[in-house]
Amino acid sequence: MDIEAGKLYFFTKSGNEVRAIEPAPPYMRQPMWEVERTQGVSAGKRMDVPARALVTSLD
C-alpha cells in the first residue's frame, strides 16, 4: 500500500488514528513514516513508525 502525506491511517500496534506527515529515514532497511496522533490525550504526538504498520481500517 502506498502511504500519502496528510491522509489518516490506523497504527496497527496501538490502534490509534494517525495522520501521515512525511517519510522518515529507514530503520533497519524498513521504510518508515513520521505520523502524529489525531485523538486522545496524546493528540499531536509525533512518532516514526514502519510503513507496513499503517492501515486504512482495523479489521
CA dihedral sign of residues 16, 22, 26, 29: positive
DSSP state for residue 4 in the 8-state scheme: -
Amino acid at position 47, single letter = M
Q: Tell me the C-alpha to C-alpha distance, in Å, between residue 42 and each of 14, 25, 26, 29, 47.
A: 12, 23, 25, 28, 11
User: What is residue 59's predicted lDDT score, i.e. its pLDDT?
Assistant: 81
User: What is residue 52's predicted lDDT score, i.e. its pLDDT?
Assistant: 97
What's the pTM?
0.91
pLDDT per residue, tens digit, the chain (59 aa), is 899 999 999 999 999 999 999 999 999 999 999 999 999 999 999 999 999 999 999 88
User: What is residue 1's predicted lDDT score, i.e. its pLDDT?
Assistant: 83
Across-strand partners of 48?
Answer: 34
